[in-house]
Amino acid sequence: MASTTRTYPVRGMHCASCVRTIETALGKVPGVTKASVNLAAEKAQVTFDAAHTSPAQLAKATEDVGYHLDVTEPSAPDTPHAAPSHPAMGEPGHDHAAMLREMEGKDMQRKVWTGIVLSAVIVLGSYPQFFPFLPAALADGYVLLLLTLPVQFWVGSSFYAGLKLLVKHRQADMNTLVAVGTLAAFGYSLAATVAPQWFTSGGLKAELYYDTSAVIVTLVLLGRYLEAKARKKANEAIRKLLGLQVKIAHRVVDGREEDVPIDAVRVGDLLRVRPGEKIPVDGIVTEGASSLDESLVTGESLPVDKAVGDRVIGTTVNQTGTLVLKADKVGADTVLSQIVRMVEQAQASKAPIQRLADAVSAIFVPIVFGIAALTFLVWFFFGPQPALTFALLNTVGVLIIACPCAMGLATPIAVIVGTGKGAQMGVLIKDAAALEGARKLTAVAFDKTGTITTGKPVVTDVIGQRAEVLRIAGSAERHSEHPLARAIVVAAEADKIALAEPADFAAVTGAGVRATIDGASVLVGTRKLMRDNGVRDAGWDEKLAAFEAQGKTSILVARGGEVIGAVAIADTVKETSREAVARLKAMGLRVIMLTGDHERVAAHIAGQVGITEFRAQVLPEDKVGVIKELQAQGLRVGMAGDGINDAPALAQADVGFAMGTGTDVAMDAGDVTLMRGDLRALADAIDLSRATIRNAKQNLLWAFGYNVVLIPIAAGVLYPVNGMLLNPILAGAAMAFSSLSVVLNALRLKRWHPGRRQPRS
């Protein structure tokens, strides 16, 4: 069975129980194996077997329960790799769903204003004793009925989907609560208007509650309208990225320049970029030199120098010189498109802590109906006179106050703002689970080379006959990818030494290389590599100690079974590493360095950046073991590495942080990609996760607390104690306020800066 996963925009959702309703409806469609709906992102992710069902059927099932699934245009492909074959998907710039949302917003705005004006008149007319100067006709039941009708049925039209749901599917959501609640108030008033004798003959006053129903409908809609506006703001971070794309590129063909729309640029095209212009697509510099502002992608504001052969990223800003670049990634393959897609996916993912809220809200609405029914019965049979009035008002109050929307929004909205904020800082978070995991870390381990150091080592000393040692070592290392090998080759070339072509080259991971040069067998690497191959290294340890004490990696060079010399290589520590380590420690994390290098080098580098705990001479494959060992001690371990041979350790860690080079989204290797190859970004990422989850928890607490406290008050439990009741109108206002306050609280994260508050919540 070939199943596909697609993400579609969903419209018309208002609360956590909407999420459940749609998930259930989609789940029932034959061929669907998984459906996951995100309220804040307004997306549904559906896994289905295309042989058994079609997107149209999915749309129909959703329509049936009162929502709209836009299947004409999946908003995001579900694996980054699937992108190129679906040009329409994830194609930045065009957002059909956004356009529809906008139209809906306009419609909502009209309804809200109509509701406000009519409700104001209805309230004035409902209290003639306070407003004696108004014409008496306004207080007439029939006039009030006429004014209320459009509010109840046009302004409030979106709520009736909830009734359809109740009747057709025996399910209920927030719409059901509002529809039933306001209809109860409206129906009661209608009866009191057309047949007051029913009430007066029973000794009751024929009271009117048109104001209650009209004001509640208006308030709830107003709350939704404001909330939708705020939610849009939460999504802004990612939309902003899309808006920054270049529209026109200057293509160079046969020495002539022509302006072409960005969509027409193909891989291999030569493009000219002048100072002040943005780089149109990802590519490699073929002419010129300049410095670029890459802050959009890396979060780092210092300009980066670029020359022939360097990679440049689309949408970053060319500052000083004119460049010609050869396009190598266009359309959906560019780094920017990948970032946008990844952030969208992260935003649509569900945080583990949201599961509780989802589970609660799933059973919430039926329970609320139970409580409402109980409220009615208790007040009607045991309450004071007029029993029917009290029973009615309190029941309406319970139904109105109980909306679980704030609960459904609590964590997704925080995740959206948090991941968007992360993208702006050059911290790409894979999903909400990674965000939550990062908060819980108690230790971080990192690789030395390329993580703490720049990973651009330079040969500083050669021991033995310089030219010969460099020639042998350089020839053996020619085909090695290791940064140390590159340093040796560069040093040999600088000395204008002609290198030989090695025969039987083999890299020994974490130890060095083996090769045959001019018929003699050559080894370049650690002392252990020598001993393992029967080469005597007596005396060398002392000779190398002095270099190693300065933090220089020292490598032996052997030919024909004998050590002929050594090379000392220094790798500069990144300026920012020390500050980052200090910050991580201040955040209460245990910091451990892992390296394949010698003990003495490790000690020196660790000392330079303020790390007290390190493991040296760890083979790449043993890094996994060290992570496991730390985990066995009960630590939650984050691992930061450059991903080259750290992938297994990154995967083993509770959260793996891949140090990006800024040019590719190394998401496969880790849970978080730090686009800025700078350890401060690691501290930022952990800090951000703490702030985001703290924010989500505040939201959850607020949302739950509000319902837990106000439902009993609305039911009237305090009435026997102090006569307190919750007016249904106040209930409507409180409900509108609760989800709005959750969204506003999440928006506070936008102004958050790393390092401002340290404690773990």
Least distance in Å: CB of 482 to ligand ADP?
Answer: 4
DSSP state, 670?
Answer: -
525 forms part of the interface with ligand ADP (CB under 6 A): yes
Provide the token pair at 163: 């009734």
Stretch of 242-250, 404-412, 478-486, 629-637 contacting ligand ADP, by CB under 6 A: 478-486
Give the shortest CB-471-to-Mg ion separation in angstroms. 26
Instruction: State in angstroms the smallest separation of the CB of 437 from ligand ADP.
Output: 24
Question: Smallest distance from the beta carbon of 485 to Mg ion, in angstroms?
Answer: 12
For the record, the structure tokens of 544 come out as 């190398």
The site partner of 389 among ligand ADP, Mg ion, none (C-beta below 5 to 8 Å per kind) is none
Q: How far apart are CA 474 and CA 471, in angstroms?
A: 5
Task: Name the segment binding ligand ADP (CB under 6 A); options: 4-12, 53-61, 131-139, 444-452.
Answer: 444-452
From the list ligand ADP, Mg ion, none, which binds 684 (C-beta under 5 to 8 Å, kind-based)? none
510 binds, among ligand ADP, Mg ion, none (CB under 5 to 8 A by kind): ligand ADP
* 526 interface partner picked from Mg ion, ligand ADP, none, CB below 5 to 8 A per type: ligand ADP
User: What is the total count of residues that contact ligand ADP (CB under 6 A)?
Assistant: 21
Which of 318, 449, 475, 699 binds ligand ADP (CB under 6 A)? It is: 449
Site string for ligand ADP, 486-515 (x = CB under 6 A): ------------------------xxxx--
Query: At closest approach, how far in Å is the CB of 467 from ligand ADP?
Result: 19
Name the nearest CA neighbour of 536 among 516, 508, 507, 556. Answer: 556
Q: Report, in this order, helix, strand and coil percent for the chain, each rounded to 5.
A: 50, 20, 30
- The count of chain residues that interact with Mg ion, using the rule CB under 5 A, is 1
Catalytic residue flag (residue 447) = yes
Between 411 and 595, CB nearer to ligand ADP:
595
Question: Least distance to Mg ion from the beta carbon of 644, Å?
Answer: 6
Considering CB distances under 5 to 8 angstroms, the limit depending on partner class, which of Mg ion, ligand ADP, none binds residue 419?
A: none
Closest listed residue to residue 52, CA positions, set 29, 74, 82: 29
596 contributes a contact to ligand ADP by CB under 6 A: yes
Nearer to ligand ADP, 511 or 653 (CB): 511
Beta sheet of 503-508, edge-to-edge order: 458-464, 562-570, 553-559, 520-525, 512-517, 503-508
> d(Cα 223, Cα 227) in Å, to the nearest integer?
6
597 belongs to the binding site for ligand ADP (CB under 6 A): yes
Q: What angle do CA 358, 235, 248 make, to 5 degrees?
A: 145
Q: Which residue's CB is nearer to ligand ADP, number 361 or number 453?
A: 453
Residue closest to ligand ADP (Cβ): 596
Among 89, 183, 555, 630, binds ligand ADP (CB under 6 A): 555
Nearer to ligand ADP, 330 or 555 (CB): 555
Of 477, 487, 473, give the one whose Cα is nearest residue 552.
487
Give the integer Cα–Cα distance in Å for 551 and 535.
25
CB of 453 to ligand ADP, least distance (A): 8
211, 269, 447, 671: the catalytic one is 447
Identify which of residues 408 and 641 has a Cβ nearer to Mg ion in the complex. Answer: 641
Rule CB under 6 A: choose which of 14, 341, 421, 448 binds ligand ADP: 448
CA-CA-CA-CA torsion for 60, 64, 67, 73, nearest 10 degrees? Answer: 0
Smallest distance, ligand ADP to C-beta of residue 517, A: 14
Residue nearest to Mg ion (CB): 449
Report helix, strand or coil for 291. strand
Under 8 Å between Cβ of 143 and 156: no
Of 447, 654, 671, 678, the residue at the interface with ligand ADP (CB under 6 A) is 447
Round to whole Å and give the CA distance between 570 and 547: 9
- Which 428-457 residues touch Mg ion, going by CB under 5 A? 449
The CB density around residue 360, as the number of other CB atoms within 10 Å, is: 17
Q: 721: exposed, middle or buried (C-beta count within 10 Å: 0-12, 13-18, 19+)?
A: exposed
Closest by Cα among 228, 42, 226, 236 to 751: 236
Q: Among Mg ion, ligand ADP, none, what binds residue 553 when CB lies within 5 to 8 Å by partner kind?
A: ligand ADP
CA dihedral 670, 672, 678, 682 (to 10 degrees): -120
CA 124, 126, 130, 134 dihedral sign is positive
Give residues 540-579 in contact with Mg ion (rule: CB under 5 A): none
The H or E element containing residue 6 is strand 3-11
Rounded distance between C-alpha atoms, residue 183 and residue 189, angstroms: 10
Which of Mg ion, ligand ADP, none sits in contact with 304, Cβ below 5 to 8 A by type? none
CA–CA distance, 480 with 487 (Å, rounded to integer): 11
Q: What residues line the site for Mg ion (CB under 5 A)? A: 449
Residues that are catalytic: 447
Please report, as ranges, the residues that interact with ligand ADP according to CB under 6 A: 447-449, 477, 480, 482, 484-485, 510-513, 524-526, 553, 555, 595-597, 620
